[in-house]
Amino acid sequence: MTTDLFYPAPEGLPVPVNPPRGDDGIHRLLSGTDWRQVLQLGSDRLVRAGALWLYGFLDEAHRLTQQDSSPEGAYWHALVHRSEGDFSNALYWFGRAGAHPVQARLRTRVQEAMEERSTEGWQTLVGSPRWEPARLVELCERSSRGEPAHPAVLREAVRMEYNLLMEYVLAQARS
């Protein structure tokens, strides 16, 4: 068994806001596997939290993120609240995460996507020299209200963010 189940994110995941819960089999597999042993990790709490979030198990992911005071725990916590539609709380947790190393890489990836594709929608996310989580939160909030919010850009940006954060968390847990 490897990370294929949750990293990189399978096609169609994550769902940015109000994701459907995955099926019971996925939940049992994600929750019941000792990822520390399988992946040779020091801790699997944040890996498990991210994988649960990916499949829409927000309550379970939320409980795990609340047990972790690291910047990565705060970052996952922000993603949980953003997915729930609790946007102000998401911004609070992004603030707690601080200027996370994932954000610089995310901004670079979004900038590259903007250069490779039509800039429409992407420029919404890259308005300053630093990544601003509030821009993606705003796009999610607009989408949740049914406003045109560039859904393809939103899905791809959230997918990039998840993959970068999971990659970072896996690397940290292995060291």
Neighbours of 134 (CB within 10 A): 14
Whole-prediction pTM: 0.96
If residue 60 lies in a helix (H) or strand (E), which one and from where to where? helix 58-66
pLDDT tens per residue, range 80-115? 999 999 999 999 999 999 999 999 999 999 999 988
pLDDT tens per residue, range 109-155? 999 998 888 777 888 898 889 999 999 999 999 999 998 778 899 99
Domain boundaries, the chain: 3-174
Q: Please give the radius of gyration of the chain, using alpha carbons only, rounded to the nearest integer.
A: 15
Longest dimension (CA), the chain: 45
CA-closest candidate to residue 94, choices 110, 70, 77: 77
